[in-house]
């Protein structure tokens, strides 16, 4: 009984600190204000996604379409997955520092690590999504006189789209969450609240940062889910029961 | 070499544009193992005249599908040439070549993310037809294959039955009015009843369009039914025999062909021929309810041991054994054995035989469309027809079959299976 009360009391203290931190107008302005840090976080995530997508999407689609280099690419991607992100940022720091001592800290090591982090899910999903498209369908497309590029653009990508988008979504969520670590190396973003908060023993700031990162990650997840729904061709939403509903409503001709 | 498919002939473009190409295989080979391994296709040489259906048939692994795919170059031959209307396909730009050749596969291969209408106009879209032309063409073709455009155009393949999908697959292959169609086991994935219907409709459409068609199947019955020419292939990609169906059945070129077409090839042959102009035995008849006259004498004089009772309009009522025919008085219909089976000129000899075996009196009564007796088909006549090639030799048989397809073409498109 007493223990529960103590626990409840601690939770209340935490929530109070969190509310106080969010309520303080000083935390909503300046270079360490919530809008600035949020913007930094979003911008860094966005840039990492764009670069990772620009590398992994075409490569993944090509691998899926041709079936060439699949093993090599997927093993390389899994290797990238196996290295902890913090170690990756640490590894990237001396490399960027070698070009310019200033770059060793600030955002560049983080950016590199985030790109490496995002490559595997995008690459693996793009190649698997495309290679799993029914080969008979692909041959029918070729047999009707589609060029390879048309086969990819008109048949393989539209059908693989849900899988491709799932890869992007998973990459996006991982980036938003992991980018937090970049603050240790001076990378900016919402992670600064965690690093500073721990250093200053400021519970409100630590949990404020946690809440913001979590909310952003959920937003990315939800955003991609909606995008996926909007872009997936109607009949391919079968996983949601669309096909069966369609059949039941349309009433097919006999035979 | 083909009519330019890019220019659909003005507004009145109909589906009956007659254009067909000759296909010639010249010593075509395909081997996958370079060191004298078993060839997938071995020195294939034959010519399919424009407008005819050539069926490639054989057991699995005989290279029939490989042969088909070499025409539109999904597979490249390792030797020989394939000429379409005299032009070597190897020298053609591959996508342009494929857009001029209709292609239907067993699994249909409809694009699941495209509507029926969009699927049908795949090739016209690749050829850059206008939206309006595509729309018109889709309507026309869906109508041709017996699917109501208004009902089906905006559906997705997942909402269709197997038979409907096959129809859409055929419509899609016909979209750019190709002079040549390749069909790889197009009806293998549907149940036997739907298959039979699709086959009949295919023959109806082919009678109308007269395309050149290469058709792959492993089913000898389908080959005999669909083909003007049948290429029987055997393991190793050898061409065992290339001939019209009747000749394959009448004179198999080897033991392999004889085994492949089956011990019932005599029956299969009968299914190729109709009663048509076969000589009929003149029946001895008497009108029921009227004085019998000299019927008993006439009947006894005739080798066939039954008298046929007819009504005043000449329609058959029943059989009377010669010995039961009264010498005078009125012929009583109630004594007669029921008259069966009734056959028409269009009945196949196989069906005639089947009905005659089941009947009490083993002779078929051939009647005209009004039901009046034309004459009798006896077992002896049927046997003679089977031995001799029935309603004519191979060439005539094919011509007969084509003539049979014509009246079917006049039927309105049947409802979707």
For residues B29 and B146, membership in a common domain is answered with yes
CATH 1.10.3720.10 given to domain A33-233: yes
Query: pLDDT, tens digit, for every residue of B305-321?
Result: 888 888 888 899 888 88
User: In this complex, do A235 and B122 lie within 8 Å of one another by their Cβ atoms?
Assistant: no
- Identify the residue with better confidence: A50 or A29: A50
Is residue B150 domain-resident? yes
Query: pLDDT, tens digit, for every residue of B153-178?
Result: 999 999 999 889 999 999 999 999 99
Specify the pLDDT at position A238. 53
For residues B323 and B379, membership in a common domain is answered with yes
pLDDT at B228 over 90: yes
Sign of the alpha-carbon torsion through B274, B275, B276, B278:
positive
Alpha-carbon distance B170 to B178, whole Å? Answer: 12
User: In this complex, do B113 and A158 lie within 8 Å of one another by their Cβ atoms?
Assistant: yes
Of B105, B126, B193, the CB nearest to A146: B126
Specify the pLDDT at position B404. 43
Identify whether the C-beta of residue A127 lies closer than 8 Å to the C-beta of residue A73.
yes
Name the burial class of residue B94, with classes exposed (0-12), middle (13-18) and buried (19+) by CB atoms within 10 angstroms of its CB: middle
Is residue B409 domain-resident? no
Is residue B127 domain-resident? yes
ipTM score for this prediction: 0.75
pLDDT at B151 over 80: yes
Per DSSP, the three-state class of B270 is helix
Number of domains in chain B: 2
Q: What is the DSSP letter of A69?
A: T
Residues from chain B that touch A252, judged by Cβ atoms under 8 A, are 159-161, 164
For residues B300 and B222, membership in a common domain is answered with no
pLDDT at B1 over 60: no
Residues from chain B that touch A234, judged by Cβ atoms under 8 A, are 156
For residues B163 and B211, membership in a common domain is answered with yes
Alpha-carbon distance B364 to B352, whole Å? Answer: 7
User: In this complex, do B158 and A137 lie within 8 Å of one another by their Cβ atoms?
Assistant: no
User: In this complex, do A143 and B123 lie within 8 Å of one another by their Cβ atoms?
Assistant: no
Which positions 103-162 of B are in contact with A (Cβ < 8 Å)? 103, 105, 107-109, 111-114, 122-123, 126, 155-161
Is residue B394 domain-resident? no
Specify the pLDDT at position B273. 81
Alpha-carbon distance B256 to B258, whole Å? Answer: 5
Q: What is the least distance, in Å, from the CA of A249 to any CA of chain B?
A: 10
pLDDT at A19 over 60: yes
Q: What is the DSSP letter of B230?
A: E
**A&B contacts, CB < 8 Å:** 90
Of A139, A159, A247, the CB nearest to B113: A159
Alpha-carbon distance A142 to A150, whole Å? Answer: 9
Query: pLDDT, tens digit, for every residue of A153-175?
Result: 999 999 999 999 999 999 999 99
Alpha-carbon distance B356 to B385, whole Å? Answer: 15
Averaged pLDDT, B13-35: 74
Q: Where among B266, B295, B323 does a domain terminate?
A: B266
Specify the pLDDT at position B267. 83
Closest chain A residue by Cα to residue B121: A144
Alpha-carbon distance A203 to A211, whole Å? Answer: 12
Of A141, A145, A236, the CB nearest to B112: A236
> Do β-strands B363-367 and B342-343 pair in parallel, antiparallel, or remain unpaired?
parallel
Specify the pLDDT at position B36. 55
Range of the domain at B356: 285-388
Sheet of strand B87-88, all strands in order from the earlier edge strand to the far edge = B39-48, B23-31, B79-84, B87-88
Specify the pLDDT at position B171. 93
Specify the pLDDT at position B217. 94
pLDDT at A234 over 50: yes
For residues B349 and B297, membership in a common domain is answered with yes
For residues B100 and B238, membership in a common domain is answered with yes
Q: What is the least distance, in Å, from the CA of A204 to any CA of chain B?
A: 50
Name the burial class of residue B340, with classes exposed (0-12), middle (13-18) and buried (19+) by CB atoms within 10 angstroms of its CB: middle
pLDDT at B243 over 90: yes
Is residue B395 domain-resident? no
Specify the pLDDT at position B18. 52
Least confident of A6-10, A207-211, B276-280, B367-371: A6-10
pLDDT band at A104 (very low <50, low <70, confident <90, very high): low
Is residue B319 domain-resident? yes
For residues B349 and B202, membership in a common domain is answered with no
pLDDT at A76 over 90: no
Q: What is the least distance, in Å, from the CA of B161 to any CA of chain A?
A: 7
For residues B127 and B98, membership in a common domain is answered with yes
pLDDT at B338 over 70: yes
Closest chain A residue by Cα to residue B75: A143
Specify the pLDDT at position A5. 67
| CA-closest candidate to residue B140, choices B8, B280, B318 | B8
Is residue B7 domain-resident? no
Q: What is the least distance, in Å, from the CA of B90 to any CA of chain A?
A: 15
For residues B261 and B289, membership in a common domain is answered with no
Share of chain B above pLDDT 90, in %: 42
Specify the pLDDT at position A12. 86
Specify the pLDDT at position A85. 81
| CA-closest candidate to residue B50, choices B92, B79, B85 | B85
DSSP string over B239-254:
EEEEE-HHHHHHS-SS
Alpha-carbon distance B126 to B5, whole Å? Answer: 11
For residues B65 and B116, membership in a common domain is answered with yes
What is the CATH number for B27? 3.40.50.300
DSSP string over B337-395:
EE---EE-TTSBHHHHHHHHHHSSS-EEEEE-TTS-EEEEEEHHHHHHHHHHTSSSSHH
- Identify the residue with better confidence: A146 or A31: A146
Interface of A with B (CB under 8 A): 134, 136-137, 139-147, 150, 154-155, 158-159, 233-236, 238, 243, 246-247, 250, 252-255
Is residue B12 domain-resident? no
pLDDT band at A1 (very low <50, low <70, confident <90, very high): low
User: In this complex, do A143 and B105 lie within 8 Å of one another by their Cβ atoms?
Assistant: yes
N- to C-terminal Cα separation, chain B: 37
For residues B232 and B310, membership in a common domain is answered with no
The average confidence (pLDDT) of chain B is 83
For residues B227 and B92, membership in a common domain is answered with yes
């Amino acid at each position: 009984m007493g223990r529960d009360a103590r626990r409840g009391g601690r939770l209340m203290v935490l929530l109070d600190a969190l509310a106080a931190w969010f309520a303080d107008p000083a935390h909503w302005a300046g270079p360490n204000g919530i809008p600035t840090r949020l913007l930094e976080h979003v911008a860094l995530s966005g840039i990492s996604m764009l670069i990772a997508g620009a590398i992994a999407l075409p490569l993944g689609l090509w691998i899926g379409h041709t079936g060439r280099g699949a093993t090599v690419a997927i093993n390389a991607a899994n290797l990238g997955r196996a290295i902890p992100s913090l170690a990756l940022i640490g590894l990237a720091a001396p490399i960027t520092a070698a070009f310019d001592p200033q770059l060793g800290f600030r955002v560049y090591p983080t950016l590199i690590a985030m790109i490496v982090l995002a490559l595997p899910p995008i690459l693996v999903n793009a190649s698997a999504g495309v290679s799993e498209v029914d080969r008979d369908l692909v041959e029918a497309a070729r047999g009707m006189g589609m060029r390879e590029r048309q086969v990819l653009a008109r048949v393989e990508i539209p059908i693989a789209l849900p899988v491709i988008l799932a890869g992007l979504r998973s990459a996006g969520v991982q980036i938003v969450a992991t980018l937090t670590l970049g603050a240790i190396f001076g990378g900016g973003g919402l992670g600064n609240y965690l690093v500073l908060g721990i250093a200053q023993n400021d519970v409100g700031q630590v949990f404020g940062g946690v809440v913001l990162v979590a909310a952003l990650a959920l937003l990315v997840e939800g955003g991609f889910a909606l995008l996926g729904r909007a872009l997936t061709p109607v009949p391919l939403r079968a996983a949601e029961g669309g096909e069966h509903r369609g059949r039941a409503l349309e009433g097919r001709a006999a035979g | 070499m083909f009519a330019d498919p890019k220019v659909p002939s003005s507004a009145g473009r109909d589906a009956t544009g007659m254009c067909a190409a000759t296909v010639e295989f010249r010593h075509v080979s395909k081997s996958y193992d370079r060191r004298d391994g078993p060839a997938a296709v071995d020195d294939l040489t034959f010519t399919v005249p424009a407008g005819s259906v050539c069926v490639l048939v054989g057991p699995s692994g005989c290279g029939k599908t490989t042969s088909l795919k070499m025409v539109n170059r999904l597979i490249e031959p390792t030797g020989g040439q394939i000429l379409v209307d005299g032009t070597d396909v190897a020298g053609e730009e591959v996508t342009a070549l494929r857009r001029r050749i209709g292609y239907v596969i067993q699994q249909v291969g409809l694009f699941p993310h495209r509507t029926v209408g969009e699927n049908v106009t795949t090739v016209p879209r690749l050829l850059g037809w206008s939206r309006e032309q595509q729309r018109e063409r889709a309507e026309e073709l869906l109508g041709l294959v017996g699917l109501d455009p208004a009902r089906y155009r905006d559906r997705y393949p997942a909402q269709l039955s197997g038979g409907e999908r096959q129809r859409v697959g055929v419509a899609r292959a016909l979209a750019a009015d190709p002079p040549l169609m390749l069909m790889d086991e197009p009806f293998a994935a549907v149940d036997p009843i739907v298959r039979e219907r699709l086959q009949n409709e295919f023959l109806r459409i082919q009678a109308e369009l007269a395309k050149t068609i290469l058709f792959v199947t492993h089913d000898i019955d389908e080959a005999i039914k669909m083909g003007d020419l049948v290429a029987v292939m055997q393991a190793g990609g050898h061409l065992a025999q290339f001939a019209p169906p009747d000749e394959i059945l009448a004179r198999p070129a080897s033991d392999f062909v004889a085994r492949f077409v089956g011990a019932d090839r005599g029956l299969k042959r009968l299914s190729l021929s109709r009663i048509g102009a076969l000589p009929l035995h003149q029946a001895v008849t008497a009108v029921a309810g009227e004085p019998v006259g000299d019927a008993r004498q006439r009947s006894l004089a005739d080798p066939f041991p039954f008298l046929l009772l007819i009504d005043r309009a000449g329609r058959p009522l029943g059989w009377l054994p010669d010995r039961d025919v009264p010498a005078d008085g009125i012929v009583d219909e109630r004594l007669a054995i029921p008259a069966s089976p009734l056959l028409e000129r269009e009945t196949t000899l196989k069906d005639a035989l089947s009905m005659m075996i089941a009947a009490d009196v083993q002779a078929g009564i051939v009647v005209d469309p009004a039901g009046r007796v034309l004459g009798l088909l006896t077992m002896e006549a049927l046997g003679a027809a089977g031995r001799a090639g029935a309603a004519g030799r191979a060439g005539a048989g094919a011509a007969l079959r084509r003539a049979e397809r014509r009246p079917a073409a006049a039927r309105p498109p049947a409802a979707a299976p």
